[in-house]
Chain A
Amino acid sequence: MKRYAWLIPVLLLALIGFGPPLAAAEDVIKIGFNIELTGDIPDVGEASKNAAEYLKNQINNAGGFDVGGKKYKLQFIYEDNEAKAESAVSAAQKLITQDEVLAIVGPQASKQAVPAGEAANNLETPMISPWSTNPNTTKDRPYVFRGCFLDPFQGPVVAKFVTEEFKAKKAAVLYDIASDYPKGLAEFFKAAFEQMHGAGSIVAFETFTTKDKDFSAQLTKIVASGAEILFVPQYYNEVPMIIKQAKQLGWTKPIMGADAWAGGDLMGLCGDDCKGHFFPAHYSNVGAKGETKQFIDNYTELYKKTPDDVAALTYDAIGVVLAAIKQAGLTGKVKKDRTAIMEAMGKLKDYPGITGTMTFKPDGDPIKCAVVVKINNEGKFEFYKSVCP
């Protein structure tokens, strides 16, 4: 009988080939999510999913999304990219060719967003990354957009802010060399700061590697360097350790963060140590008004935590996609619709998002303001200053 054992896989293969084609429901808008549910930064994936679920339930409970007088139900498909570049590509390809989504939201981190953008652009599907600040994500890719400001914008914002606010002339930077986002931001900050104060004004430019926990050697160097300000463009889960260790090694001067500080539960991890420091953010969740406040309140009630930047940006990114769909209309032909959505998205003017109004530049980046927030004594991110390009 073993002679015919090969027949079993052949038959299975045949069955796959003859399998029923996926029934395409008529009145559904499919949007794919290529997000980091596992891997290094699972919080980020979770926040994106929460925001998306919130928005989906809101619209679907109200009867659906209205395009050209017809109500469509939203269907969101969440794919995990394991925070890996190659998984992000195959997740994007699966969403586009297998699930036939109209547009993709995510990936969030640049390491995944850059390669996934390539795949989406090649397959002519609009993709919007809510949180990726690396210029390469959208560069030369008409189909790829982003929902936030860029590192080349954020770096100078920080440099300008520390100069004006703390009168700092010497700065130190501590960043993760093995990660795309901190490295890029550290370099943009360095360039901007040195332009203002001359070469050598960055007195310590120290690095570590992803998943490191001990920064004492670098911090010892920074403390001894005489810097007036420490810039830490790191993710929320590394910041508390850096700040604690800096304090233990005798650092008393201000610490400046980056937008990734707000990517997770920073205050829950950091406690009192983080209070009084500043960082640029996409929005501030204290003192918000109108739709922003409504979103924050509902989200907090639903998931028992305040929405971070990722959640707010994802919410906006989906909003942008939906606005573009509304403008472009739907023909039912996926390929044609995708191109129409892409074109509509590029033409979007002053979209009123909860993180500010957005207009896309031709390369798919939005013109957006940054907010510098201060962590106040209650551990809330308080609006401090708004910086617009």
Chain B
Amino acid sequence: MALLDVKDVTQQFGGLRAVSSFSVALEERELVGLIGPNGAGKTTIFNLVSGFYQPTMGTIRFKDQPTAGLKPNHVTTLGVSRTFQNIRLWNDMTVLDNIRVAHHSQLSYGFFGCSFRSARYRDQEKDITANAMKTLEALDLDQYADEFPKNLPYGTRRKVEIARALSIHPRLLMLDEPAAGLNTADLTGLIDLIGWIHKEFPITIWMIEHQMQVVMSLCQRIQVIDFGATIAEGTPTEIQNNPAVIKAYLGDDTI
């Protein structure tokens, strides 16, 4: 049984078909890449999986459970977590708070719990903080816990965002162009980091990326889409030599 099972999903925005009958099945502990030219519909697929859009057609099942109609926060609770193409941290909250708030859907105390500081409130806040600090330490970010993300360098912000996504112990981690905007030195660090996460945590990683260096060295399996439809699938080496992929990226020089 696949962890994430996307079947024939189509997304229509007015007249524009952003994704057309896209299917994928991700197994436990896989590291899969999703590539394609700009505007191919990659981020839309991520948005569909994380529940931000509801697919026009098709089904998405996570842990064998349909996610149709669920709100994004609900999907997160099931164990899907993600990062964003252009970093979306809460800039006026400390790094530690950023990670704590990501635990929001796990909170079981409500408004009255937080106003009366109930026992459950205190326990949970303690657990959350401990867990957040553990994640920060694991990613070597603990010295930034009280900094504001807006004051951090770009590479560190990327890392904080990954930490935020990772901190809630997801089963599926979706990385949307984690290497965008990084310099070469950061890039090597990022490849090591993703590899390390994949090794260290019981987690499936699904990644959109343009940097071939990252994709080729990390992914076990790559799926290529163009105009919302899959055009190729296979191991990195297979993809590298696939004529359809070359055509999609470089254009059709026969015309």
Report if A and B touch in the complex (beta carbons < 8 A): no
